[in-house]
Amino acid sequence: MLKRRLLVGLVFLVSLVVVGCGVPQEEHDAVLAERDAAQAEVASLQGELAEVQSKLTTTESDLGETESDLATAESDLADTQSEISSLQSQKSSLQSQISSLQSQLTGAEAQVAELEKLIAALEGSEVGNLAPDFQLKDLDGKTVSLRDLQGSPVMLNFWATWCGPCRNEMPYLQQIYEKWRDKGLKVLMINLSETTSTVRQFMQDNKYSFPVLLDTNGDVSSKYNITAIPTTFFIAGYGVIKERRVGSFPNVETIESSLSKILAPPSLTLFTPQIDGLKVTINGVTMPGTSGTTVTRIQWDWGDGSSEDHYFPASHSYKAGGSYTVKVTSYQSNGLSTMKSVTVQVTG
């Protein structure tokens, strides 16, 4: 209580002193003005502080987002680095494979070169030789290669328009071409050293349509050792010469006799029939006889008036016991066929 009274008294004395001093009015106003200015500056600084604090908040938010983006980028970078590492590993593996394949390719090319030498040694113009490959242009300028015809039997004929025996056999060769061209046979008529216009005119005048190749420089006739014309080669589908004939053919039958060496019917083997009462089952094997053809149909004549097309095995039930002759015919895609028969004895 005493302290409170002393404090009140002190305030009172200070008041008396201030009043008694008589501070001039101008100084008082100046102090107030300075105070107001200071207060205004304080208010301005407070505004700037608030603005800076807002910017700080925004900057902190942006920093947070940037840090988050940075973390994502670092994660993406890690994934990318992992992917790069995986791709580098794949690249290394592929380079190793390429190296291995290149080594294999080198070996294969060397083997092909050796086989080419062997083929060249086996090639020739006599029966049993591999027919030498060639590339010649036809009357339309299209290049024809013998190797491209591999798999198909080929009849190769060397001729010229000025050759009388050649002209004599031309109608028979045309008939052969028309009959066998859709049955797998390739007919190539190689003209010796004449111009395209001369040969084309000859073909048009005589209405021939078989393919003609132009041996303008005589290179192919040299390969085949042609010393007289006409000369005809019969070449099997696997490329081996089966017959060489010098001179003209007198008729179609003679040509077809030679064709039989390269155009063979299918082979057909029947197994022992299995008989169970009136039911008969027969199995067997059939194979194309001409290279490049396929077996297209097997026909069954059961000997009781009934027939059907059926591949192996085939079964048939008879209505009555007895002896029946079963005939089986195999057809291949060039129209040639083979028939075999077997007798079966069934009991009712």
Q: Taking the mean position of all CA atoms in its chain, how far away is CA 331? A: 32
Mean pLDDT of 205-218: 97
Q: What is the pLDDT of residues 302-347, one digit of tens each?
A: 999 999 999 999 999 999 999 999 999 999 987 789 999 999 999 9
What does the pLDDT read at residue 150?
Answer: 87
Q: What is the pLDDT of residues 153-189, one digit of tens each?
A: 999 999 999 999 999 999 999 999 999 998 889 999 9
pLDDT at 348 over 80: no
What does the pLDDT read at residue 166?
Answer: 98
Q: What is the pLDDT of residues 243-297, one digit of tens each?
A: 999 999 999 999 999 998 998 888 999 999 999 999 999 999 999 888 777 899 9
Which range, of 50-54, 136-140, 168-172, 239-243, averages the lowest pLDDT? Answer: 50-54
Q: Which CATH superfamily is domain 267-346 in?
A: Immunoglobulins (2.60.40.10)
For residue 279, what are its two tokens?
């039911």
What does the pLDDT read at residue 22?
Answer: 52
Give the integer Cα–Cα distance in Å for 286 and 269. Answer: 6
Give the integer Cα–Cα distance in Å for 69 and 80. Answer: 16
Q: In what order do the strands lie in the sheet with 314-317?
A: 274-276, 279-282, 314-317
What does the pLDDT read at residue 195?
Answer: 96
What DSSP element (H or E) covers 8? helix 2-21
299 SS3 class: strand
Environment class of 170 (CB within 10 Å of its CB; exposed 0-12, middle 13-18, buried 19+): buried
Name the nearest CA neighbour of 254 among 339, 185, 169, 166. 169
The pair phi, psi for residue 334, each rounded to 5°, is -95, 10
Report whether 344 contacts 321 (CB < 8 A).
Answer: no
Where exactly are the structural domains of the chain? 135-259, 267-346
Report whether 215 contacts 190 (CB < 8 A).
Answer: yes
Give the integer Cα–Cα distance in Å for 243 and 126. Answer: 8
What does the pLDDT read at residue 225?
Answer: 97
Bridge-based pairing state of the strands 295-301 and 307-309:
antiparallel
What does the pLDDT read at residue 128?
Answer: 92
pLDDT at 2 over 70: no
Q: Please name the residues in contact with 185: beta carbons below 8 A apart, sequence gap of 6 or more.
A: 152, 153, 154, 155, 176, 259, 262, 263, 334
Q: What is the pTM of this model?
A: 0.58
What does the pLDDT read at residue 118?
Answer: 65
Provide the β-strand partners of residue 223.
none
135-259: which CATH number, 3.40.30.10, 1.10.357.10, 3.30.70.270, 2.40.420.20? 3.40.30.10
